[in-house]
A and B are shown apart, each in its own frame.
Chain A
Amino acid sequence: MEREPAGTEEPGPPGRRRRREGRTRTVRSNLLPPPGAEDPAAGAAKGERRRRRGCAQHLADNRLKTTKYTLLSFLPKNLFEQFHRPANVYFVFIALLNFVPAVNAFQPGLALAPVLFILAITAFRDLWEDYSRHRSDHKINHLGCLVFSREEKKYVNRFWKEIHVGDFVRLRCNEIFPADILLLSSSDPDGLCHIETANLDGETNLKRRQVVRGFSELVSEFNPLTFTSVIECEKPNNDLSRFRGCIIHDNGKKAGLYKENLLLRGCTLRNTDAVVGIVIYAGHETKALLNNSGPRYKRSKLERQMNGDVLWCVLLLVCMSLFSAVGHGLWIWRYQEKKSLFYVPTSDGSSLSPVTAAVYSFLTMIIVLQVLIPISLYVSIEIVKACQVYFINQDVQLYDEETDSQLQCRALNITEDLGQIQYIFSDKTGTLTENKMVFRRCTVSGVEYSHDANAQRLARYQEADSEEEEVVPRGGSVSQRSSIGSHQSVRVVHRTQSTKSHRRTGSRAEAKRASMLSKHTAFSSPMEKDITPDPKLLEKVSECDKSLAVARHQEHPLAHLSPELSDVFDFFIALTICNTVVVTCPDQPRTKVRVRFELKSPVKTIEDFLRRFTPSCLTSGCSSIGSLAAHKSNHKSGSGFLSTPSSDGMLLRLERLDQPTSAITSNGYSSQADDWASELAQEQEPERELRYEAESPDEAALVYAARAYNCVLVERLHDQVSVELPHLGRLTFELLHTLGFDSIRKRMSVVIRHPLTDEINVYTKGADSVVMDLLQPCSSVDARGRHQKKIRSKTQNYLNLYGAEGLRTLCIAKRVLSKEEYACWLQSHLEAESSLENSEELLFQSAIRLETNLHLLGATGIEDRLQDGVPETISKLRQAGLQIWVLTGDKQETAVNIAYACKLLDHDEEVITLNATSQEACAALLDQCLRYVQSRGLQRAPEKTKGKVSMRFSSLCPPSMSTASGRSPSLVIDGRSLAYALEKNLEDKFLFLAKQCRSVLCCRSTPLQKSMVVKLVRSKLKAMTLAIGDGANDVSMIQVADVGVGISGQEGMQAVMASDFAVPKFRYLERLLILHGHWCYSRLANMVLYFFYKNTQRMSVQRQSSLLGLYLPSRPRPIAVEQVGLLTHTVTSAKSFDVLELQIPSLYVG
């Protein structure tokens, strides 16, 4: 066990800790004798002890109980709940009114029957639901799990429900965690384990979890009996991505606990033989269950409108009853004294006063006219909606074969809102585009590599996707189309829905099949994997490789390279390692047999740092202290030893890369589809496939790109990354820190120790706007600085070019740290890490301190391909009168390009671009645009003011203005201007302008801005809004909109979890809105209207007779009002009307 830094706080006695229970939770081992229990060994006392322990810790056990009722409490509780519904209260009120003798109801008992029936039905349904919940609870509660038993001194099988906080649990591979467990021991020699969180967030990639520091070093197997530490952690909360706490050992030492140490209930253990952990949160306190909030309940517009109508009905009922009551009072008053033969006095012979009679009459009228209030309508609507949801779910044309998923309705009661949408807010990445990141081109050290062959290869996929007859001659036309823009123009747009399936043949079908096969790993379609390298760059890389292989054993191997080659080398190293990609091999288990290194990392303590970075250690091959250190340095200095793996006894890897390294001269991963492109590849035997599992697709794209250049990421452990190069062999980089990506920094960094130079390098990868600002200021005095400056400006030019082509750009940069700098930074970083309170903020600061003075290596351009059918869908939705706004976080050029590609913007229409740098400028610009748009709207012709204004807001296509005079312009606004425009004083103007525009494109917008825009439109324009997105950044927008649609795509499941409807692809939106939305709305609206009609009809007969009579309800007569089978509305639709409706989108009255 390591020694802790001396400065840590002394933990107080447990008693004091418990007083702070309000903020934190204290967990101790259940195996320790509880204070006061003198006889722990007695088996009989076990139950009692447990009870006492439960008492002492006040913690929930792991029993899952989602049922609402018990056998005894069912009736009162259920009735109580049912009477929370106004409808039921109304029902009972009416029924009880029947029993008031004065209202002279005919059969009071009969009136009770329907009420009881409805109550009974609901109660039965609740009972059944509760019972099925109970059954599933029972099943889950009785799952088995290995729990350490104090009595038997070994792990015994227990039910899940018997697990308590503080128990030690042992899980084997592919088992599901029964509770939130702190990882204490893993069979993995590095103290790692992999989990799959698909049950929680749907992400299928493996995540890595790590044994609590201090336990990973144990050589022998972890023994729960010796665990005496106390764990302090947060109170149970529902934040899946956060866990904070610390573990206090016996000797008073303290170590921090992080999210990486926690195994959440519901996740599955993968690729690790066994783990042992202590239960921290159990049962309903687990994060998974705290996150499990029931289905969303949104009220649809129709329903809100209907509620209003029902209120009107109530008002009408009261008015009519009142009218009758007054009339009756007058009648009584008139006839009472007249000895009318038909006047019946009360039973005691006296006569009612007119007022009393009027009151009684009022009550009676309420009973008689109760049908006016369509209580049954609510029940019917529920049924119809359930059917509609079922039919939408079952629509085979909303089924996506590639992902094997169909549309899911997650909100059950807003189906008809789909037919009322006026504004669609769409995300770009992953929604309009596929979010399949394909490496397109890169620039290294100021030189651009256009990757023509790769572009050609991608064109193949697209052509296979579109028209078959358009066969490109193999190999011949390599550089016909070099830019993406031309590809998109080639793409044939006019495909009809019905014929599409035919044409998905050839390589596309193959790709599809492959993607279906490898569905469980994310981001690995052949299109993304097989990148054809640029020959020029490939040559440079292999040159680097060769010269480094020669110079490896010299003092400064990198110094032999020219600056450019060194940049190229660093560039690819950065591409390969600056990520969090996990390497898996589909054929083999990820478990590895390997002698453990003493080396533990990431560097966690100063002592650790000092020990590992003492000068004596740094000079490779020098005499070292102890054999372990010798191992380490041996490993470090001889990083090429894998080229002769069999001779090295240190690493007994399950070899999967044992073919001659020289054979890998080119891309060995080419599929049959693009063999035409790989003249370089002399068809070697196919290498066993490595699979990369990344958290975001562009990471994977970059790693695959690097692999195409023979810079292969072969292994990633938490402390080291291995890269394989053809000549250099395997280089193992010691991974000191990983500063993960976040949306504020917009970059990620890794800190590594370079095996060749032993320097500490920081590789940073991030958005160009951010990284370019963090570069080392270069003086223009010396030649090197000037050169750097030139490279930088060149790179910036290329970045702009990439942006214009619609590529996603990333900058790669590097920083070399001196030992002193590193030590200095490390200290503050460690402080930040160990701080319990605001460590996130501190870590953020620490990351910013590290990522400065960067040296620019290059930039990459990744293409985000447009999804199938997006332009067609957009134009159809447009025809249906829907306004489409695109809100994206991407930069303006990329966004505008994608917008053109998907026909959101048209080349012959005007584009108003709003880029303001200050509040005032924004206001002025808005005013100007407004004036312009208004004058334009008035004159309806290209007017003279246009020229003047377009200077200011850069109309993108002035020449074609005359043709587009009838159209409204489009608006492009960037994030900063959007922030100004969304201010209180400008939002009206902005909205007014946006209303005039055909489409609106907001770039560089944050998730918050997205939701603000949606909220603004929703509240100010009183419009029905639909938000569609796929990523976590769209969640807020999806939640704000009236209808939220999630794309069940690649970026995790957060958007889907927040959404009301989840579609597999953007194009399904067309059918969902224009067909199903319209159907649902018109059917439901018709039904509601019919219900009102029917009820008023029934009522009006009553009314009529009472008017002809004496303002008194006459005896209800059987009135035949035909009841229409409600389901006929939904089930029997006109045959083939979907086609009609899709053909004429204007039927969708937006």
Chain B
Amino acid sequence: MAMNYNAKDEVDGGPPCAPGGTAKTRRPDNTAFKQQRLPAWQPILTAGTVLPIFFIIGLIFIPIGIGIFVTSNNIREIEIDYTGTEPSSPCNKCLSPDVTPCICTINFTLEKSFEGNVFMYYGLSNFYQNHRRYVKSRDDSQLNGDSSALLNPSKECEPYRRNEDKPIAPCGAIANSMFNDTLELFLIGNDSYPVPITLKKKGIAWWTDKNVKFRNPPGGDNLEERFKGTTKPVNWLNPVYVLDSDPDNNGFINEDFIVWMRTAALPTFRKLYRLIERKSDLHPTLPAGRYSLNITYNYPVHYFDGRKRMILSTISWMGGKNPFLGIAYIAVGSISFLLGVVLLVINHKYRNSSNTADITI
């Protein structure tokens, strides 16, 4: 084919035959661009190229998938639902709004010990944190410590903008609906004396959130002073400046608050609650055994058929427990491999009976 072009160029490429010196013709330029001869690569799918690709994909993906799956399976995870809608549940008593504060305890057993850092989550179901108006219902400049926004929050916060003529800090529906159960974990040893497990409050939020996005309003040392003139969100029990005793984890930069403010995309979600740090290499962080979960039950979800869970999980290099990724890899790899085999058989069987060779130059 290239030969053909060369031949043509030879014939046509010369000076146009115009004896009268009328060299000006309307002949189009014989350039690669205009003649659509720019080098281009157009894959022609033949058995020779397609089959190896299928096999290679299969051979690469299946081991990766297996690796991920195994890793994921090695992650320890336990979920404890403490919504208390079942009458047998210890938290059933807390469903009625009269009991305040309501504390319930759920016992559970870890069959295997949890090693390394353990993450404690709370999980909510049927909670539409992705609702359009809900997502918008916040004032980022207020949360960033802007003093004018503190006293005059954005309109987006309506109807949780002002309460009794005072601006709400933090304003908006997200903050208003902040998760406010308190979870405590005890290891019940052989001597049946529960040992509290240290839960670390800090280090659960994103660094940028903690240090850039969320700031307390400026002012003196006293946090209450800085929030002067504002009122607490309607649903909250306490104002924002008493969220924690640690001044570095109080007010807007309270990490529980920050975690909550990062809204979830799906109605079933989990949010990091606490960290259980590894104590030493020798002992597992959470040894196998019986534990009890103490819940200060404040957060009402049963009105809208929601569920509350507490999750304990370890992590690996690929994050939390996620068997899907491994399965997906294995599935794709297997299908590809299978297709390769099928095509190989087809190609082997029908190779000679068709004239595809003519078309696929």
Contact = CB atoms under 8 A, between A and B. Distances in A.
Interface of A: 104, 106, 335, 338-349, 364, 391, 393-397, 399, 401, 404-406, 498-499, 501-502, 509, 512-513, 516-517, 1105, 1108-1110, 1112-1115, 1131-1140, 1144
Interface string B15-42: 0111110100111111001111111111
A342 B27 CA distance: 72
Nearest to A516: B18
B266 interface: yes
Interface string B262-306: 000111000000000000000000000000000000011101110
B155 interface: yes
Contacts of A406: 26-28
B36 A391 contact: yes
Given A345-B159, A1114-B130, A1132-B38, A498 B8 contact: yes
Nearest to A364: B132
Most A CB contacts (10 A, CB to CB) among B22, B28, B305 go to B28
Interface in B102-149: 127-137
Contact of A341 (B18, B19, B30, B235): B235
B12 A347 contact: no
B167 to A, nearest CB: 15
A860 to B, nearest CB: 34
Contacts of A1131: 33, 36, 38
Given A395-B35, A401-B16, A498-B7, 8 more contacts: A342-B134, A394-B34, A396-B34, A517-B19, A1110-B267, A1112-B130, A1131-B33, A1136-B2
**A-B pairs, 3 with minimum CB distance:** A347-B158, A1136-B1, A1132-B40
Given A516-B18, A1140-B1, A502 B38 contact: no
A499 B358 CA distance: 23
Given A396-B28, A1108-B267, A391 B34 contact: yes
Contacts of B235: 341
A120 B153 CA distance: 38
Contact of B159 (A335, A341, A346, A1105): A346
B359 interface: yes
Contacts, number: 160
A108 to B, nearest CB: 13
Given A401-B17, A405-B26, A344 B36 contact: no
Most A CB contacts (10 A, CB to CB) among B34, B36, B177 go to B36
B128 A396 contact: no
27 contacts: A104-B132, A335-B128, A340-B303, A342-B177, A343-B304, A344-B131, A344-B134, A344-B160, A344-B173, A346-B158, A394-B34, A399-B26, A404-B27, A406-B27, A406-B28, A513-B19, A516-B18, A516-B22, A517-B19, A1109-B131, A1110-B131, A1110-B267, A1114-B130, A1132-B38, A1135-B37, A1136-B1, A1136-B5
A343 B159 CA distance: 11
Contact of B304 (A335, A346, A1137): A335
Contacts of B266: 1108-1109
B294 to A, nearest CB: 23
Contacts of B173: 342, 344
Interface in B183-209: none
Nearest to B38: A1132
A394 B131 contact: no
Contacts of A391: 34, 36
Given A338-B303, A394-B35, A405-B26, A1135 B11 contact: no
A401 B16 CA distance: 8
B129 A342 contact: yes
B40 A1133 contact: yes
B357 interface: no
At the interface, is chain B mostly helix, strand, loop or mixed? loop
B158 to A, nearest CB: 3
A15 B176 CA distance: 91
A502 B40 CA distance: 30
B4 interface: yes
Given A104-B136, A513-B19, A1105-B265, A341 B301 contact: yes
A379 to B, nearest CB: 23
A502 B7 CA distance: 10
A1109 B131 CA distance: 7
A224 to B, nearest CB: 41
A340 B304 contact: yes
Interface residues of B, number: 61
Interface string B224-240: 00000000000100000
B361 interface: yes
A1108 B129 CA distance: 12
B131 A347 contact: no
A396 B304 contact: no
Contacts of B300: 339, 341
Given A344-B173, A513-B17, A1110 B36 contact: no
Given A344-B131, A345-B159, A1110-B128, A338 B304 contact: yes
Contacts of B358: 1144
Given A395-B28, A513-B17, A1144 B158 contact: no
Contacts of B30: 396
Contacts of B303: 338-340
A501 B133 contact: no
Contacts of B137: 344
Nearest to B8: A498
A1109 B361 CA distance: 52
A394 B29 contact: yes
Contacts of A1140: 1, 361
Contacts of A1109: 128, 130-131, 265-267
Most B CB contacts (10 A, CB to CB) among A340, A399, A1115, A1133 go to A340
A63 B298 CA distance: 86
Nearest to A513: B19
Contacts of B33: 1131
B344 to A, nearest CB: 27
Contacts of A344: 131, 133-134, 137, 159-160, 173
A396 B131 CA distance: 61
Contacts of A1105: 130, 265
Most B CB contacts (10 A, CB to CB) among A104, A509, A1135 go to A1135
B271 to A, nearest CB: 14
B361 to A, nearest CB: 6
A397 B16 CA distance: 14
Given A394-B28, A406-B28, A1112-B132, A348 B159 contact: yes
A1131 B41 CA distance: 12
A404 B26 contact: yes
A1135 B132 contact: no
Contacts of B36: 391, 395, 1131, 1133, 1138
A391 B32 CA distance: 11
A347 B28 contact: no
A464 to B, nearest CB: 16
A343 B306 CA distance: 13
A339 B303 CA distance: 7
A1 to B, nearest CB: 48
Given A393-B28, A395-B28, A341 B37 contact: no
A1134 B1 CA distance: 12
A86 B41 CA distance: 38
Contacts of A502: 11
A1108 B19 CA distance: 77
A364 B130 CA distance: 15
A341 B267 contact: no
Contacts of B29: 394, 396
Contacts of B39: 1132, 1135
Given A517-B20, A1114-B130, A341 B27 contact: no
B28 to A, nearest CB: 4
A404 B25 contact: yes
A348 B265 CA distance: 27
Interface string B145-167: 00000000001001110000000
Contacts of A399: 26-28
